């Protein structure tokens, strides 16, 4: 499956692209099953929100059409979608008329160990903290050096994900996934208005949980609350839900609400 740039097969792009120069753009990592992206509406909604907040005049209808066609050609795998503000002149000022660039890359579906979903994973406690920047919080933008530094903190195969806290110590998310907790039957996930990436699986699980009458809270979470949670799990749009078994000495059982949401995630992903 070839990659596409602006709707045409291509493996390269201009060195003038502002995505390269400044990380001036957004991306989506999209599971493709049976020739279609199961969480399409969530991905498109987040992309639209990101374009609005960054002022990138993307043709969303065209982007959707291309993504659907790309997914049909891919069949099974991962479509990585990137949108940048396009080529720039020298300097930070966005060009008066930006021509956003649309990039679609294909990859095989990652082979995660079966145990991650069944028995749960160990979290590596990252020392890289997330800076608080409300203007960029929640967006899946192309400024991802914090995640690069955090992911470089461990190389062993024992830790499937890393725990990221913000500079104030709050528990926020994984390096490439969102984090949920269960406290006295309440489903809890971090408020992402200062930092963090608002994942599409997080959004879909929150919607599903509310629709099923579960009690849900989105708010700041201290490290103590995290440690004292009854259940902890991770989610993203590729692996669905992984229970979290432990982080540096703290252990959690794999609980019933985690299993329930794991089934919901599988349904959402057509697995």
Summarize as ranges the residues that interact with a second copy (CB under 8 A).
3, 5, 10-24, 27, 54-55, 78, 80, 82, 84-85, 90-94, 103, 105, 107, 110, 128-129, 131-133, 135-136, 141-152, 167, 175-176
Rounded to the nearest whole angstrom, what is the least distance from the CB of residue 141 to a second copy in the complex?
A: 6
Quick one: 144 or 250, whose CB is closer to a second copy? Answer: 144
Residues 31 and 90 sit within 8 Å (Cβ to Cβ): no
Identify which of residues 206 and 235 has a Cβ nearer to a second copy in the complex. 235
Q: How many CB atoms lie within 10 A of CB 164?
A: 29
**Minimal distance, residue 130 CB to a second copy, in Å:** 8
Identity of the residue, 177 or 262, whose beta carbon is nearer to a second copy in the bound complex? 177
Cα separation of 268 and 270, whole Å?
Answer: 6
Residues serving a catalytic function are: 29, 140, 173
Rounded Cα distance between 165 and 181, Å, is 15
| 3-state DSSP assignment of residue 76 | coil
CA–CA distance from 193 to each of 172, 190, 206 (Å)? 11, 9, 16
Judged by beta carbon, residue 147 or residue 262, the one nearer a second copy is 147
81 Cβ partners below 8 Å, 6+ apart?
Answer: 27, 28, 29, 30, 43, 47, 63, 67, 102, 103, 104
CA atoms within 13 Å, Cβ hemisphere of 41: 4
């Amino acid at each position: 499956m070839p990659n596409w740039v602006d709707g045409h097969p291509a493996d390269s792009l201009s060195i003038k692209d502002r995505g390269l120069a400044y990380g001036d753009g957004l991306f989506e990592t999209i599971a493709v099953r049976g020739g279609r992206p199961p969480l399409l509406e969530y991905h498109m909604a987040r992309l639209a929100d990101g374009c609005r907040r960054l002022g990138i005049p993307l043709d969303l209808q065209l982007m959707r059409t291309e993504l659907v066609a790309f997914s049909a050609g891919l069949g099974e795998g991962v479509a990585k979608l990137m949108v940048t503000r396009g080529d720039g002149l020298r300097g930070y000022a966005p060009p008066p008329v930006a021509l956003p660039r649309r990039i679609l890359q294909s990859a095989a579906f990652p082979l995660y160990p079966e145990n991650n979903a069944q028995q749960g994973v160990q979290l590596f406690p990252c020392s890289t903290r997330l800076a608080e920047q409300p203007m960029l919080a929640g967006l899946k933008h192309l400024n991802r050096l914090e995640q690069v530094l955090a992911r470089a903190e461990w190389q062993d195969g024992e830790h499937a994900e890393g725990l990221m806290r913000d500079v104030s110590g709050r528990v926020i998310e994984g390096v490439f996934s969102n984090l949920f907790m269960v406290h006295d039957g309440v489903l809890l996930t971090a408020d992402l208005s200062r930092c963090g990436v608002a994942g599409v699986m997080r959004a879909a699980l929150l919607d599903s949980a509310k629709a099923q009458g579960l009690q849900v809270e989105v708010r700041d979470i201290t490290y103590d609350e995290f440690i004292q949670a009854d259940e902890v799990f991770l989610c993203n749009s590729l692996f669905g839900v992984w229970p979290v078994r432990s982080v540096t000495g703290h252990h959690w059982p794999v609980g019933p609400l985690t299993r329930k949401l794991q089934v919901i995630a599988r349904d959402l992903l057509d697995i």
